[in-house]
Structure 1
Amino acid sequence: MDITEVILSDHHEQRRMFAMLEEIDTSDRDALSAVWGRLRILLEVHAKAEELLFYPRLVKLQRDLVEKESPQEETEDAIHDHNEIRDAIAGVDDHEVGSIDWLKAIAEVNEVNSDHMAEEERQGLTDVRRHLDRDERHRMAVAFLAFESRHAAAGVAPHDEDPEEYVEEHS
């Protein structure tokens, strides 16, 4: 088990659930609400797990000579992305489930989340694979899965982080 594989698996599940939402008839508000509720928890718990267990370690890595950004810059950008994802998630609540505006809000969450995942997969996960040994990646994966499992049902309270303060605190 490897933290990069766990995060990639979560990313796959997020993409899969967005696709499922797109296939549910908009008149089936109960199904839309249920699937969105599960996806929302997955997104929020995943982001919090990364902030507690992945990015504090990434930010301590030395600059990779291949990457354009330093781990600190990558981390700051990722925390900013998490805030954007949380804001987009909160925006869904402003609309009636199944309405055109609700669907647009869901699409906005999907877009900002997809942008974040793509960048994280190209940068942060690559840095961790290059610079952390398998034992450390395994320990991180176990802690990550345990956190997600503890919070899978109820979720976590969404809380934006200041990206610069986050990097400073964890450097």
Structure 2
Amino acid sequence: MDITELILDDHHEQRRLFAILEQVDRTDTDALSSIWNRLAAFLELHAQAEEEIFYPALLERGIAARRTSAVEDETLDAIRDHNEIRDAVADVARHRVGTDDWYAAVAAANLANSDHMAEEEREGLTEFRRLAAVPRRHRLAVTFAAYEARHYAGVRPVDKDPDGYIDAVEKQVPAATGSLTVGSLRRH
């Protein structure tokens, strides 16, 4: 078991659920609502699990490997993407299920999520496989799976300030990973 594989599995499930929504008759609003509610909760749970477990580990390994700039950029972008996905999911709730506006909002959420997943798969996950040994990835996978299991019913969506997120994680990075000091990560 590897955290990068669990994240990829979650991405597959997200794609699957979006595809299911495209195949349900638009008049079956009960099915559409049920599937969308499951997907919306899953998107947030996945984002929170990444923010609590994966991205701090990516930053820690990147700092230790003196790849601070690369992992910081990837993490800042991911947090911004998660906020965009949260906003898109919230927009879906403003529309009556099955209407053209609802489908347009679902499509916007799908696009935001798809763009994020593709970038994360090319960058963050690839970088982490290069930086973290298999035993570390396994331990994080156990933590990630347990987190998602504990919060199976969902978590409350909360946008995060990307720079504040980096600062909070940076304060927790052990001194042994490098000569990093609080506030030293590059901002843009």
TM-score when scaled to structure 2? 0.86
Where do 4+ consecutive residues of structure 1 move more than 3 Å? none
Render the CA deviation track for 1:34-63: whole Å, top value 9, x for unaligned.
Answer: 000111111010000000000011112337
Partner of 1:13: 13
Using the alignment, how far apart are the partners of 1:49 and 1:62 within structure 2?
Answer: 19
Residue pairs, 1:109-128, within 5 angstroms: 109-128=109-128
The residue aligned with 1:148 is 148
Give the distance between the partners of 1:32 and 1:86, measured in 2 at CA.
19
- C-alpha distance in 1, partners of 2:27/2:166? 44
Please state how far the C-alpha of 1:168 moved relative to its aligned partner.
1.6
Percent identity of the aligned residues?
56
Instruction: Specify the SS of the correspondent of 2:62.
Output: coil
Matched residues, number: 168
Q: Give the match for residue 164 of structure 1.
A: 163
- Whole-angstrom CA distance in 1 between matches of 2:166 and 2:120: 16
Quote the Cα distance in structure 2 between the aligned partners of 1:44 and 1:52. 12
Q: Secondary structure at the match of 2:110?
A: helix
- Aligned residue runs from structure 1 range 1-171, under 5 A: 1-62=1-62, 70-152=70-152, 154-171=153-170
For 2:7, the aligned partner's letter is: I
**3-state DSSP class of the match of 1:61?**
helix
TM-score, structure 1 as length reference: 0.94
* Long gaps (5+) in structure 2: 171-188
CA distance in 2, matches of 1:142, 1:50: 13
Offset at 1:150?
1.2
Larger radius of gyration: 2
In the alignment, the residues of structure 2 paired with residue 5 and residue 91 of structure 1 have an alpha-carbon distance, to the nearest angstrom, of 30
State the partner residue of 2:186: none
Q: Which residue does 2:178 correspond to in 1?
A: none
